Amino acid sequence: MSDIRMRLRNLGKSLQGYDNAKADLLIAAAQEIGRLRRQVKKLEAEKKPKPITPEEMARRLGGVLRGVMG
């Protein structure tokens, strides 16, 4: 669990005796932060190009050679 979420959750738990609505709101905010962070990580992972394997390079080169040779 991230530091921000942990702090918000602890703050929310300490507030529960005083105002449950505020505590619930802080816990919900912590959960939303976690969800958004996971979404950002997923999107960043999709942007990274995968390294080309030797098999993929051979396949591409074969296609180019077939195209050139006609």
Tell me the pLDDT tens digit for each residue of 10-69.
Answer: 766 665 565 677 767 777 777 888 888 899 888 888 877 778 888 888 888 887 777 777
Query: pLDDT value at position 1?
Result: 55
Task: List, as one string, the DSSP characters of the chain.
Answer: --HHHHHHHHHHHHHTTT-HHHHHHHHHHHHHHHHHHHHHHHHHHHHSPPPPPHHHHHHHHHHHHHHHH-
Half-sphere exposure of 40 (CA within 13 A, CB side): 6
Structural domain count, the chain: 1
Query: pLDDT value at position 65?
Result: 76
This model's pTM is above 0.85: no
- To the nearest 10°, the Cα dihedral for 42, 47, 48, 53? 110
Query: pLDDT value at position 14?
Result: 65
**What domain range includes position 65?**
3-69
